[in-house]
Chains A and B, each alone.
Chain A
Amino acid sequence: MSRMLDLAEEALRATGGDGDDAEVVVHAERSGVARFAASIVHQPTLIENAVVRVRVARDGRIGSAATNRVDAEGLAEVARRAGEAAGSARPDPDFPGFAPPAVYSDVGGYDEETAALGVADQARLAAAAIEAAGDIGLYGIYTSGVTEIAVASSTGLSAEQKTTDAVCLCLAADREASGWSERTGWRAADVDPAEPAGEAAETAERTRGGAELEPGAYRAVLEPVAVADLVRWFSYDSMGAQGYLEERSYFCGRIGEQPFDPKVSIADDALDEANLPKPFDFEGTPKQRVPMIEDGVIRGVVWDRMTAARAQNGQVSTGHALPDAWRFFGPVPTAFDMAGGVAGSSEELAELVGDGIFVTRLHYLSVVDPRGGVLTGMTRDGTFRIRDGKIAEPLVNLRFTVAMSDVFGEVPGLSRNRRLVNLSDLYDERYAHAALVPAIATAHFHISGTGSGPGL
């Protein structure tokens, strides 16, 4: 038994009796972030922390409290506050109880070499990225860390997972040019910082002198980083049970319908070792692979225990309860698995587009109309014109306002190779998650305005 599971069990014992049911989740992090700008590490951050969250259920009334004071006094106090909250709450008729004990898949996701990376290693790997970018300034991060999740509850559930991750995000830029690339993996050996740094620098050099573009309807190639961002933002309202039950989801009333191109299939699959694998969620429920879109047909959304109970149709949790800090979203996918196609490269996708635009990365997305699946945002760090099936001259950053039913409605092709794209912005406690997605060609990408040129 790990120290974190010990801690969870100790906190569970501190919840005492009174006929209460209780659940404890320990979320621990040890990480380093070497953040660089203009090829200098300027914000290096080391974090060590363990948070204990206690939920108490008393006659269907739920209260929770959390602390990072993990001595006996701190655990007693957090248990007392959770009990006090439960005592003040009102019974929730939908509360399904805490998760029962379960058997978990052995999914990997932990690498000793990655866990052993220290300050000097993180600095060295950041330096490797900086060197590979050459003369152009490099901006971004190299980070690695260990995350431990332990769950114990009065149902007898006792579970622990230890994961590692390494991420290198690279923006190569000067005043007139900018390019982006990144790598993510649970083995640091799979994340060679020189690769994204070199790619970002190469892209940046091609962005000088970005031209304006008339707003309108365009065909487009979207690189994996851009695809991942679109899918993530689409998912917040549309692919989670909360948005679905509350009728904000584009999927409402469309289960079984086929609004998307048959080449589009998107699942959530945290069990896949090619992603950042995890055996269970923050309620201790085993992770399931959940098909959300299959061959263009809408199949369903992801669930946690409370939303499954609220559905009142026999639905069960798919293992998508999230960290407490994300409570406003309800359950949402965090391990996207989008099927690839047959195109051998983004250049082949450009041939399918013929005349259009090439998008490397998106910026500052927002949901304009959740039910309609309408998103807006900007392109950045590698936007180009496609002419005669070739990637051509650079463009300024473009504002897009798109309905996802259009973007995925007609997809001439997808790349065979897929890229694991980081989705974590490292807020709150570390919980690395990612999207395994291809580049795509779409027949519909609505440009609604123009912004600044590439570069700083």
Chain B
Amino acid sequence: MKALAEAAVDAALGAGASYADARAVSLRRQYVITKNGNVDDLSDTESDGIGVRVLVDGAWGFAGSGRLDDSAARDAALRAAEFARAAPGRHKTSLAPVEAHTGTYRTPLRRDPFSVPLTEKIDLCLRAEEGMRHDDVKVTVAMIRAQREHKVLVSSEGTNVEQEIYECGGGIDAYASSEGVSQVRSYPSQHSGVSGQGGWEYVEGLGLDREAPRVGEQASALLRAPACEPGRTTVVLSPEQAVMQVHESVGHPTELDRVYGTEAAYAGTSFLSPEDLGSLRYGSEHMNITADSTTTGGLGTFAFDDEGVPAAREPIVEAGVLRGFLSSRETAAQLGAGGGGSMRADGWARMPLVRMTNLHLEPGQGSFEDLLADVDEGLYLETNKSWSIDDKRLNFQFGTQVAWEIKNGQLGRMLRDATYTGVTPVFWGKLDAVAGPEEWALFGLTNCGKGQPGQEAHVSHGAAHARFRDVEVGVSA
């Protein structure tokens, strides 16, 4: 793979590129999904190829080929250069400097997930499903996934790095329905469960079969729970819901390509502007957000991003003030600050984009019970169900699978169909407590969409329980 990437870069330079990089990628993904006691999907996918990115007269070009051989690598380089040369516009691309690195990285793991027999994975899924059976639960689903991505990045500036990244994940869902009402309960998260970087030990640590009875019972109980009433109240978000809030209302708006408008037509832009750096009040003094591509077990953890920039831990929001953006070498040069480090591509057939790596809400202090103790009346919201936010990442509306009344510092009745809505900096300004490190947990998501053609990024977020005052809840049609 290294020789092919080097050949592609040579070919690009020979075709007139002032800069070129090539990623040779070998990707394997495996899914085991069971539904209602049957094996619903047992699939094993591999995709090999090379993606070549070039700068010709300041214009980008990119071409990908699904063949890993010398002629395909060189041909991709020539086609990328041809596209760059044909691209209309007044191009003035410059890149923030980066030291040329060589090196390797491999996910630390105890047990290779692809060495685990399929029968063992199926058995775990079926056990978890069995545990979810309950009155009115009509559909049970269990999923386990594994991924290995081996990639080599070579650039015309001397970068030559090789990385092998393993991911594992899993999740369970129980769908209950009765008398025209349908409800779902999931663990550890909606959206295909959660994933982390690591080996089979990550899946074992999830305890899918251990949590299954609670999931089934709660799905059934939701059918008879009263609906969340509209109003304004204090909400406490579970760590799993807090990370969705971080993802949508902090992660995406701080992507510098969105700030500069290059995602405007599809994913949208950002309410932030470059001048906001260092001064914009994003939230309360309890809000501390960190981008950290060194986090152990994070889906956004690597030694080098897809431009060869080394992993780092950097503040994004400190005590409520915007301190950083997620950037590429190009957008960092535009900003005149930072050096990139967030460029990631979905496989070999896509151009790297500015993406989240691991973005965390840093812990505060105290326990979950301490957060509840200061709430006379409110809601505790668990597990995302629906999510929507405007193109500048200001107006958002989330729904959760379950809500619990908080009365005089104690959890009370279960409620269904809970939603809450707000405007990003106003909402974060109402953050008045984050629980401590002992409540902090890491969640990995595999469905973050962006770009045209579309790309799915795998990102992780950590958060503890977080409390927000005076929030609008119970939005309905």
**Which A residues are within 8 Å of any B CB, using their own CB?**
31-51, 53, 61-69, 78, 81-82, 84-86, 88-90, 92-94, 119-120, 122-124, 126-127, 130, 137, 139-141, 143, 169-171, 173, 178, 246-248, 252-253, 324, 327-328, 363-372, 374, 376-378, 380, 397, 399, 401-403, 406, 425-428, 430, 446, 448-452, 456
B304 interface hit (Cβ, 8 Å): no
Contact A61/B349 with A43-B262, A68-B49 known, Cβ cut-off 8 Å: no
Q: Do B42 and A89 have beta carbons less than 8 Å apart?
A: yes
Q: Do A47 and B388 have beta carbons less than 8 Å apart?
A: no
Least CB distance, B411 to chain A, in whole angstroms: 24
The secondary-structure label for the interface of chain A is strand
Q: Do B452 and A171 have beta carbons less than 8 Å apart?
A: no
Q: Do A248 and B177 have beta carbons less than 8 Å apart?
A: yes
Least CB distance, A39 to chain B, in whole angstroms: 6
Contact residues in A for B45 (Cβ distance below 8 Å): 53, 65-67, 324
Contact residues in B for A35 (Cβ distance below 8 Å): 452
Q: Do A427 and B60 have beta carbons less than 8 Å apart?
A: no
Contact residues in B for A169 (Cβ distance below 8 Å): 265, 452
Closest to B454 in A: A427
Contact residues in A for B271 (Cβ distance below 8 Å): 452
Least CB distance, A455 to chain B, in whole angstroms: 9
Least CB distance, A369 to chain B, in whole angstroms: 6
Least CB distance, B322 to chain A, in whole angstroms: 17
Q: Do B83 and A119 have beta carbons less than 8 Å apart?
A: yes
Contact A451/B395 with A127-B88, A141-B452, A427-B455 known, Cβ cut-off 8 Å: yes
Nearest 9 pairs between A and B by C-beta? A40-B89, A426-B453, A451-B395, A427-B454, A123-B86, A49-B66, A88-B118, A41-B87, A127-B88
Cβ contact of A456, chosen from B90, B261, B350, B477, cutoff 8 A:
B261
Q: Do A41 and B389 have beta carbons less than 8 Å apart?
A: no
B297 interface hit (Cβ, 8 Å): no
Contact residues in A for B79 (Cβ distance below 8 Å): 46, 119
B279 interface hit (Cβ, 8 Å): no
Q: What are 12 residue pairs bridging A and B, where the CB atoms are less than 8 Å apart in the complex?
A: A37-B262, A43-B451, A66-B47, A68-B48, A130-B88, A246-B175, A327-B33, A366-B386, A368-B386, A371-B177, A397-B395, A401-B476
In the bound assembly, the distance between CA atoms of A253 and B181 in angstroms comes to: 12
B419 interface hit (Cβ, 8 Å): yes
Least CB distance, B210 to chain A, in whole angstroms: 23
B357 interface hit (Cβ, 8 Å): no
Q: Do A38 and B390 have beta carbons less than 8 Å apart?
A: no
Q: Do B118 and A427 have beta carbons less than 8 Å apart?
A: no
Q: Do A120 and B39 have beta carbons less than 8 Å apart?
A: no
Q: Do B44 and A81 have beta carbons less than 8 Å apart?
A: yes
Q: Do A45 and B64 have beta carbons less than 8 Å apart?
A: yes
Cβ contact of A88, chosen from B42, B62, B65, B80, cutoff 8 A:
B42
Q: Do A451 and B394 have beta carbons less than 8 Å apart?
A: yes
In the bound assembly, the distance between CA atoms of A139 and B267 in angstroms comes to: 12
Contact A90/B39 with A364-B388, A371-B182, A427-B454 known, Cβ cut-off 8 Å: yes
Q: Do B386 and A40 have beta carbons less than 8 Å apart?
A: no
Least CB distance, B436 to chain A, in whole angstroms: 32
In the bound assembly, the distance between CA atoms of A315 and B79 in angstroms comes to: 48
B170 interface hit (Cβ, 8 Å): no
Q: Do B89 and A399 have beta carbons less than 8 Å apart?
A: no
Q: Do B388 and A365 have beta carbons less than 8 Å apart?
A: yes
Q: Do A44 and B61 have beta carbons less than 8 Å apart?
A: yes
Q: Do B62 and A43 have beta carbons less than 8 Å apart?
A: yes
B59 interface hit (Cβ, 8 Å): yes
Contact residues in B for A448 (Cβ distance below 8 Å): 397, 421, 475
B169 interface hit (Cβ, 8 Å): no
Least CB distance, A223 to chain B, in whole angstroms: 17
B368 interface hit (Cβ, 8 Å): no
B374 interface hit (Cβ, 8 Å): no
In the bound assembly, the distance between CA atoms of A45 and B61 in angstroms comes to: 7
Closest to A46 in B: B63
- Binary contact track B193-227/A, C-beta < 8 Å → 1, others 0: 00000000000000000000000000000000000
Q: Do A85 and B118 have beta carbons less than 8 Å apart?
A: yes
Contact residues in B for A122 (Cβ distance below 8 Å): 83, 86
Cβ contact of B42, chosen from A43, A62, A365, A399, cutoff 8 A:
A62
Closest to B75 in A: A48
Q: Do A93 and B63 have beta carbons less than 8 Å apart?
A: no
Contact A40/B90 with A246-B138, A371-B182 known, Cβ cut-off 8 Å: yes
Contact residues in B for A446 (Cβ distance below 8 Å): 477
Least CB distance, A166 to chain B, in whole angstroms: 14
Cβ contact of A426, chosen from B83, B454, B475, B477, cutoff 8 A:
B454
Q: Do B86 and A47 have beta carbons less than 8 Å apart?
A: no
- Binary contact track B247-269/A, C-beta < 8 Å → 1, others 0: 00000000000000111111011
Closest to A249 in B: B182
In the bound assembly, the distance between CA atoms of A403 and B476 in angstroms comes to: 9
Closest to B258 in A: A456
Q: Do A324 and B388 have beta carbons less than 8 Å apart?
A: no
Least CB distance, B476 to chain A, in whole angstroms: 7
Cβ contact of A452, chosen from B59, B84, B386, B391, cutoff 8 A:
B391
- Binary contact track B115-144/A, C-beta < 8 Å → 1, others 0: 001110010000000000000001100000
- Can you add 20 more A-B contacts, CB < 8 Å, to A49-B65, A65-B44? A36-B88, A38-B262, A40-B88, A43-B452, A48-B66, A49-B66, A63-B43, A66-B45, A66-B47, A90-B122, A93-B38, A120-B82, A122-B86, A126-B88, A139-B264, A171-B264, A380-B268, A425-B266, A426-B453, A427-B449
Contact residues in B for A36 (Cβ distance below 8 Å): 88-89
Cβ contact of A120, chosen from B80, B86, B122, cutoff 8 A:
B86
Q: Do A248 and B453 have beta carbons less than 8 Å apart?
A: no
Closest to A65 in B: B44
Q: Do A363 and B177 have beta carbons less than 8 Å apart?
A: no
Contact residues in A for B38 (Cβ distance below 8 Å): 90, 92-94
Q: Do A119 and B82 have beta carbons less than 8 Å apart?
A: yes
Contact residues in A for B390 (Cβ distance below 8 Å): 363-364, 378, 380, 397, 399, 451-452
B149 interface hit (Cβ, 8 Å): no
Contact A368/B117 with A66-B46, A426-B453 known, Cβ cut-off 8 Å: no
Contact residues in A for B391 (Cβ distance below 8 Å): 363-364, 378, 380, 397, 452
Q: Do A368 and B89 have beta carbons less than 8 Å apart?
A: no
Closest to A50 in B: B66
B103 interface hit (Cβ, 8 Å): no
Q: Do A40 and B175 have beta carbons less than 8 Å apart?
A: no
Cβ contact of B349, chosen from A49, A63, A367, A456, cutoff 8 A:
A49
Q: Do B64 and A368 have beta carbons less than 8 Å apart?
A: no
Contact residues in B for A371 (Cβ distance below 8 Å): 177, 180-182
- Binary contact track B65-108/A, C-beta < 8 Å → 1, others 0: 11000000000100110111011111100000000000000000
In the bound assembly, the distance between CA atoms of A252 and B452 in angstroms comes to: 35
Contact residues in A for B48 (Cβ distance below 8 Å): 68-69
Closest to B27 in A: A68
In the bound assembly, the distance between CA atoms of A399 and B66 in angstroms comes to: 42
B462 interface hit (Cβ, 8 Å): no
Closest to A407 in B: B477
Contact residues in B for A372 (Cβ distance below 8 Å): 477
- Chain B stretch 462-477: residues in CB contact (< 8 A) with chain A: 475-477
Q: Which of A50, A143, A427, A446 has the most CB of B within 10 A?
A: A427
Closest to B82 in A: A119
Q: Do B64 and A47 have beta carbons less than 8 Å apart?
A: yes
Least CB distance, B279 to chain A, in whole angstroms: 19
In the bound assembly, the distance between CA atoms of A108 and B116 in angstroms comes to: 47
Contact residues in B for A47 (Cβ distance below 8 Å): 63-64, 349, 453
